Structure 1
């Protein structure tokens, strides 16, 4: 299997370069609560969107590298996170429910989607919300706390942190595709403390999937279908009361695997 992984510094997708800014402008798009970058597909009216949250130390302009989404007629939106005063990693997201918030991120993302719809013609009802690493953790908490925020969710290499949410904590079923690397040591599947004596611990991705099975009312713990025929290994739960749930693994480490954008958009379009 030949994977080329995006680095944590890039913290987003793959493909050709795109200009940062606001739909061709050198400036970022600005809202009351923050800023975002957006690139629009050529000749598509009212396009769907891939809205992607960067990892620690990144920024939203990196999302515009997801040329595969633009080629498929999607707008690509990359919001900018804010730097925490106590963080050495640069901009990030106020994702952890037990830590002080620099910004309430759910209203911010609602604002970004509304602004992109009003000013750039994006279809607010067809937004896939993805994110990498801490951005993926933020996506997981948003899906749990505000399941109506986007049409579907696609965290990459980031999930809940300890203490995990209660099994009945998430508000409603969701459509969610979680992607993770088998060899990820930065955000291992089992989680880890940030430092050897830290009380801040990443969560267990498998336990996170159990939370989603409970939320979606899936009939069994075991996946219903499996596919290991390509670069991505898929585990899918089909016998659920609502929503959609799939867990995808690849042989790489902490990064966004080549082909993720097309794979995620194939999944998204298959939900319709």
Structure 2
């Protein structure tokens, strides 16, 4: 009787670890990759076979991917837009982004390759994102290995603008709070508020930016958008807000709507 009970418990455990599509690593159950791991969250109502866009998101300092796949401003956006969310786990809950040749760049590429082996993926719709420390790492990845990356979506973090990047994604979208006290806003010379995306404006050989004015996803936060579209290659978008160090409500959702050609919605 005891052996039967153990078998039943084991079977129940295995089922609970499966995703809606039947895959055994999902949400809180990490996907192992060598000595490291990452988390995934499938979109609502996915049929298990239709190829999916991917949002690959680097977590902030002292966090892990298990938080990201349950974060309403991140996974709340992806699961409603038929996007697969991928959240790697940093060693010691951090990322190695300060210098070129980061081992986390190699790890991130390995995760993307592993996801492609596990899931049907839209190879032309892989978006790399990150918040805070994770935004710094997302920049590092885009700077070193942007092959096949459709867009960089960076939140409250950058790299030094004198970095020499060897690669660039097809598009860059950055958001930053002017009153950020954790990773202070990287103001440029003579108060240049467009400085946080200087690397990419130079890489794409962009002309003058166009101020598109204010926009909102929620009534209590207004963002000001500037875009650079007259570029030899690529496109750059910079959203600024008067607040501090946080993921703006609905920002990821709006970027995905625009990138995927969907009607803008919230959440």
Does 2:202 match 1:214? yes
Structure 2: gaps (5+ residues): 1-18, 217-221, 263-267
Residue 143 of structure 2 is matched in structure 1 by 144
TM-score by length of 1: 0.74
Q: Which has the larger radius of gyration?
A: 2
Structure 1 residue 46 displacement after superposition:
1.4
* Structure 1 residues 121 and 59, CA gap change in structure 2 (3 angstroms): same
In structure 1, the residue corresponding to 2:122 is in which secondary structure? coil
| Secondary structure at the counterpart of residue 43 of structure 1 | coil
Bigger relative contact order, structure 1 or 2 (CA pairs below 8 A, ≥6 apart): 1
Deviation readout 1:137-189 (Å, 9 max, x if unpaired): 11112212222152211110010137x314xx443464100011121111111
* CA distance 1:33–1:237, shift in 2 (3 Å): farther
- Relative to its length, the structure with more helix (as a share) is 2
Shift of 1:127: 1.2
Cα deviation per residue 1:102-159 (whole Å; 9 max; x = unaligned)? Answer: x611221111111112113233432111000111011112212222152211110010
What does 1:149-188 align with in structure 2 at a 5 Å threshold? 149-161=148-160, 164-166=162-164, 169-172=165-168, 174-188=170-184
Is the Cα contact below 8 Å between 1:173 and 1:215 reproduced in 2?
A: no
**For 2:206 and 2:200, how far apart are their aligned partners in 1?**
9
CA distance in structure 1 between the partners assigned to 2:145 and 2:103 by the alignment: 12
Determine the structure 2 residue equivalent to 1:43: 46
Higher strand share: 2
Change (3 A) 1:22 1:141: farther
Structure 2 counterpart of 1:27, from 26, 29, 33: 29
Q: Deviations over 1:41-88 (max 9, x none)?
A: 2224211111110111000112212222111101111100012xxxxx
**Structure 1 233/26 Cα, relative in aligned 2: closer, same or farther at 3 Å?**
closer
Distance 2:24 2:246 in 1: 26
Runs (5+) with no aligned partner, structure 1: 1-18, 84-90, 192-203
CA contact (8 A) 1:52 1:77 kept: yes
Q: In the alignment, what sits opposite 1:116?
A: 115
